[in-house]
Chains A and B, each alone.
Chain A
Amino acid sequence: MAFPSQLGFQDAASPVMEELLTFHDHALMIVFMISALIGYFIIAMVTANLSDMYILDSQEIEIIWTVLPAVVLILIALPSLRILYLMDEVNDPHLTIKAMGHQWYWSYEYTDYENLEFDSYMIPTQDLAPGQFRLLEADHRLIVPAESPIRVLVSAEDVLHSWAVPALGVKMDAVPGRLNQTAFIASRPGVVYGQCSEICGANHSFMPIVVEAVPLQQFEDWSALMIQDA
């Protein structure tokens, strides 16, 4: 999860997010080099004693500053498109979960085998146990098996919401009357947090998403217990 005054991304909890972090590092290095180059030009021009007013044209430098930016753009575009298509691959999910946005909570439905549904409300600050995170904890977590492709169908019952979990590299708008699909693989067991990412009213900031990836056996035990209790 995020820590205070964090500027960068959270650690990746899915292969897609790892690829996104790698691409981000690549793009940032290019941005840094361009910034350093511009900074050097500025310093060189400011400290130069001579200014040449009589240069009319120069084919060589015109070619350089046309071709080089094109090459840089291609260097950025190719990895970007690769990740874009990677994220859209059909990955034969092991489990499908429906995430429905409401004002102001999420509800999850596991309907592949049995009907398992529950709501997920934020735990109010005054009810938090020591060590729990303010505005991020939910009373019922979305439990998923680790290392399994999961498909999430996102929609909403009232107004626009958005189901987002940064550590998994997932964000999908929840639109009333529309079913949006996204998918992820949790690389390892653990808990990752997200928050509603589309303004939806007074408590937009208070409807978090908590995904807990567990080993498959634990997931089966949990789902059996939930169905039994229902």
Chain B
Amino acid sequence: MSEEEQETKKGFRLLWILDVQKTPCAREALLHGAGGSVAAGLLHFLATSRVRRSFDVGFAGFMVTTLGSWFYCRINNAKLRVQQRMIQEGIKNKVMYEGSDLDPTKRPAAEKPPGPS
């Protein structure tokens, strides 16, 4: 328990700005960015043998991959949060309205066909 508390309290701020341990999606985005950067830079160098330009391309790859991964992850998280809220609301409403007239799962009683006059 104390180790977990220490882990939750310690964070690592990249460039003293972004806490990659506590910010959701940050760590994955940066790791994807690092991989994209290495891949882009290496491919460019193998194709052109230009070192400085390959570094530039690698950095551009880092920016594009990091931002792409970040926004993709954040959008998915936002969708999950909306679903979570809807489920929570649904559970609360179910508990409140179960068995009452407002219960949406309650089927209306089938009407009896009129008997012979």
Contact = CB atoms under 8 A, between A and B. Distances in A.
Interface of A: 3, 7-8, 22, 25-26, 28-29, 31-33, 35-37, 39-40, 44, 48
B74 A8 contact: no
Contacts of A48: 52
B59 A40 contact: yes
B74 A26 contact: yes
Question: What interface size band does chain B fall in?
Answer: 20 to 34
Closest 3 CB pairs of A and B: A32-B18, A32-B17, A25-B23
B56 A25 contact: no
Given A25-B24, A31-B17, A37-B63, 14 more contacts: A22-B74, A25-B26, A25-B74, A26-B74, A28-B18, A29-B18, A29-B23, A29-B70, A32-B14, A35-B17, A36-B62, A39-B15, A44-B52, A48-B52
A22 B67 CA distance: 16
Interface of B: 9, 11, 13-15, 17-19, 22-26, 29, 52, 55-56, 59, 62-63, 66-67, 70, 74, 78
Task: Please classify the interface of chain B as helix (H, G, I), strand (E, B), loop, or mixed, using the class held by over half of its residues.
Answer: helix
A33 B67 contact: yes
B59 A32 contact: no
A217 B58 CA distance: 60
A29 B22 contact: no
B2 to A, nearest CB: 14
A12 B22 CA distance: 13
Contacts of B29: 29
A32 B52 CA distance: 23
Contact of A29 (B26, B55, B62): B26
A33 B11 CA distance: 19
A37 B15 CA distance: 12
Contact of A8 (B22, B24, B70): B22
B73 to A, nearest CB: 11
Nearest to A24: B23
B9 A28 contact: no
A36 to B, nearest CB: 7
A120 to B, nearest CB: 29
17 contacts: A7-B13, A8-B22, A22-B78, A26-B74, A28-B17, A28-B23, A29-B18, A29-B23, A29-B29, A29-B67, A29-B70, A32-B18, A33-B63, A33-B67, A35-B17, A44-B55, A48-B52
Contacts of A44: 52, 55-56
